[in-house]
Amino acid sequence: MTILAIYVSCRMRLSRCAVVEAVVYYHFSYWGIPYDFLWLSTVSPTLTSFEMYKAYTQNCKDIWIFNVGDIKPQESELQFALDMAWDVDQWTPEKAYGYTEEWAPEYFELSQVISGLQAGNYTLTCMMAVSNDMLTTQRLFANDVSQYYGREEDYDKNIDESETYTFAGWSTSSNYFLKPMSVTFNIEENEELTIGIRSSNKFSDGTFAVSGPAGWFKCDDFRLVMNYALADTLAFEEILIGDAGWTSFSSDNALDFGSVEGLKAYFVDAASNSIANLVEITNPDASVGLILNGVPGSYMVQVMKDGETPETNLLVATNKGEVMLQPTGDGNWVYAFGYKESDYSDVGFYTLYENRTIPKYHSYLNAEKDAIGNNGVNFIRINTDELTSIKGIAGVNDKDDVKYDLMGRKVGLPSKGVYIMNGEKMMVR
């Protein structure tokens, strides 16, 4: 049998053979003349298949050795080599061009599951880079909380609306410089945590890449830090009420409005062509659409582990991201919450005459046509006459240097400890 030793650089075709052993040594990572290729692979599956298939047909079938150097930039190349070694005929030079599509499917995830964590608030960070023309849906995630690598305008029809997401705001580049990514989230008792990177080959316009490295990324330095234990420290969310005294609202957290003086939360359980019925709720769960009423000012509302979700609520939360509304949606009438800017009167829900964006952390009314009527109405007032008025009550934490303890109670001369003043924590030593 003729036995060959074959030496191949990533820029040279198979050329030199000597009768020694049936071993193939192939460079994906190369340090030498004429050029070094250490950090970015330039070897296509077709080139690898061409050279290795040539070796295979010359009876070099016993040992294949691949030089990958630092393995991080060479995962797909090494996987292709292993797959070809397992089944040469599947990845002949005529078929190798399709390997990247199979290796990088429509949706893929690099992840790890962690269990046994203490209930608390955590921050996950990592370093990530996305090269030019590869940006799709690359994002850091922890369970259903994620941060996309790019800017908000870089995504249109490829956002995963099932996640609570933010945008890191980075631009792609050709140098693979790593940029910091971060997500903050809560973990409940006995809850498993899945962390990692999610991506796909889906572009912003909703189309899919059929070949090439779309969706690829480089990542490093994952770190998970507990900010505080839920059982040990009370967390608060600051809510601002403007001069009108009303606002639509939604949150990523369950909140305790019952312990806050001067601020009330409502949901809508029914609506007709003349009135929307507000029902007070003191402990709404996360992602519940609400209407808030209070004296203008800043309020510190305690975050709870869980809360109440109304059985019927016509208010749709936008805490997962801003929503573009059309005058009618899903066969229903949609209305935006508002009031007259001149005197803050006529508080209620207004029809949309054109497409309108409802900002994140607000809500809008989605009412059935059977209740409103096929032609809709321009304005639906709320049942303010039946609600308990809170006007005239002094505002809470209205930038007047009033101090509150971590239970939200006003204090006079505080002793040593942590307090809230003007929406920020202060330490008295």
Mean pLDDT across 196-224: 87
Is 157 within the bounds of a domain? yes
391 domain residue, yes or no: no
- Tell whether 393 is covered by a domain: no
Q: Does 76 map to a domain?
A: yes
**244 and 311, same structural domain?**
yes
pLDDT digits (tens, 9 = 90+) for 352-363: 777 788 899 999
Whether residues 242 and 372 share a domain: the answer is yes
Q: What is the CATH number of the domain that holds 156?
A: 2.60.120
Q: Whole-angstrom Cα distance, residue 419 to residue 243?
A: 26
**Shared domain check, 292 and 247:** yes
pLDDT at residue 405 in the model: 58
d(CA 325, CA 247): 18
pLDDT exceeds cutoff 60 at 429: no
Q: Highest mean pLDDT range out of 6-10, 122-126, 208-212, 327-331?
A: 122-126
Within-domain flag for 38: yes
The answer to whether residues 54 and 82 belong to one domain is yes
Does 199 or 7 have the greater pLDDT score?
Answer: 199
Task: Lowest mean pLDDT of 14-18, 28-32, 102-106, 209-213, name the range.
Answer: 14-18
Return the amino acid letter for 155. Y
| Banded model confidence at residue 145, pLDDT cuts 50, 70, 90 | very high
Q: What is the Cα gyration radius of the chain?
A: 30
**Within this chain, do residues 64 and 177 fall inside the same structural domain, yes or no?**
no
**Greater model confidence, 27 or 188:** 188
Q: Is the pLDDT of residue 123 over 50?
A: yes
- C-alpha dihedral (421, 426, 428, 429), degrees to nearest 10: -170
How high is the pLDDT of residue 10?
36
| 106: pLDDT strictly greater than 90 | no
Q: What is the DSSP letter of 322?
A: -
Tell me which DSSP letter residue 284 carries. B
Per-residue pLDDT at 114: 95
Domain boundary among 213, 229, 245: 229
Mean pLDDT of the chain: 80
- What's the confidence (pLDDT) of residue 294? 92
- The whole-angstrom separation of Cα 208 and Cα 173 is 21
Query: Do 53 and 111 belong to one domain?
Result: no
* Torsion angle defined by CA atoms of residues 331, 336, 340 and 344, in that order, rounded to the nearest 10 degrees: 130
CA distance 71 to 66: 11
Q: Do 89 and 142 fall within a single domain?
A: no
| CA torsion through residues 225, 229, 234, 237, sign | positive
Distant-in-sequence, close-in-space partners of 412: CB < 8 Å, separation ≥ 6: none
In this predicted structure, what is the pLDDT of residue 352?
74
Kind and range of the H or E element at 79?
helix 75-86
Rounded CA separation 247/241 (Å): 7
Per DSSP, 346 falls in state: S
Q: What is the pLDDT, as a whole number, of residue 397? A: 33
Beta bridge partners of 333: 328, 367
Identify whether residues 272 and 257 lie together within a single domain. Answer: yes
Q: Which pair of structure tokens corresponds to residue 189? A: 């008792």
Neighbours of 193 (CB within 10 A): 17
By mean pLDDT, which of 26-40, 61-75, 221-235, 241-255 is the weakest? 26-40
In the predicted model, is pLDDT for residue 89 greater than 50? yes
Q: Which token pair is 275? A: 């009135």
Strands 193-200 and 254-256: unpaired
Q: Are 407 and 389 in contact (CB under 8 A)?
A: no
- What is the rounded CA–CA span in Å between residue 180 and residue 158? 22
CA angle 393, 424, 285 (to 5 degrees): 70
Distances (CA, A) of 164 to 45, 141, 159, 268, 398: 37, 10, 10, 24, 30
Q: What is the pLDDT of residue 7?
A: 36
Same domain for 382 and 413, yes or no, is no
Q: Which of 73, 103, 133 is the last residue of a domain?
A: 103
Predicted local confidence at residue 216, as pLDDT? 86
Do 322 and 419 fall within a single domain? no
Domain assignment of residue 392, yes or no? no
Does residue 406 belong to any structural domain of this protein? Answer: yes
Are 32 and 73 within 8 A, CB to CB?
A: no
Q: Name residue 175's amino acid.
A: N
Compute CA 317 distance to the chain's CA centroid, rounded to the nearest angstrom. Answer: 17
Has residue 265 got a pLDDT over 50?
Answer: yes
**Which of the given ranges, 32-46, 135-149, 296-310, 375-389, has the highest pLDDT on average?**
135-149
264 has pLDDT over 50? yes
For residue 233, pLDDT over 80 is answered with no
State what percent of residues in the chain have pLDDT above 90: 32
Q: 269 and 378: one domain?
A: yes
**Which has more pLDDT, 416 or 91?**
91
pLDDT value at residue 149: 96
Rounded to 5 degrees, what are φ and ψ at 153?
A: -75, -10
Task: Say how many domains are in the chain.
Answer: 4
User: Tokens 């009303």, residue?
Assistant: 246
Query: Would strands 254-256 and 410-411 be described as parallel, antiparallel, or unpaired?
Result: unpaired
% of the chain beyond a pLDDT of 70:
75
State whether 269 and 197 are in the same domain.
no
The first and second tokens of residue 344, run together, are 């803050």
Q: What is the DSSP letter of 102?
A: H
* Residue-number span of the structural domain to which 176 is assigned: 107-229
What's the confidence (pLDDT) of residue 198?
Answer: 95
Q: Which is it for strands 290-294 and 263-271: parallel, antiparallel or unpaired?
A: antiparallel
Q: What is the mean pLDDT of residues 36-50?
A: 78
Two tokens at 221? 């330095």
Which of 261-275 are b and which e, b meaning 16 or more Cβ less than 10 Å from the residue's Cβ? ebbbbbbbeebeeeb
Whole-angstrom Cα distance, residue 146 to residue 185? Answer: 10
pLDDT, tens only, 334-343: 889 988 888 8
Single out the residue in 78, 103, 128 at which a domain terminates.
103
Task: Tell me which H or E stretch contains 16.
Answer: strand 16-18
Q: What are the tens digits of pLDDT across the range 374-412?
A: 666 778 888 765 554 333 222 233 345 566 655 555 555
Question: Is 123 within 8 Å of 225 (Cβ atoms)?
Answer: yes
- Given a cut of 80, is residue 417 above it in pLDDT? no
Predicted confidence at residue 259, as pLDDT, reads 85
| Residue 403 maps to a domain | yes
The predicted pLDDT at position 251 comes to 93
Q: How is residue 60 written in tokens?
A: 């070099």
Q: Burial of 289 by CB count in 10 Å (0-12 exposed, 13-18 middle, 19+ buried)?
A: buried
Of 181 and 324, more confident: 181
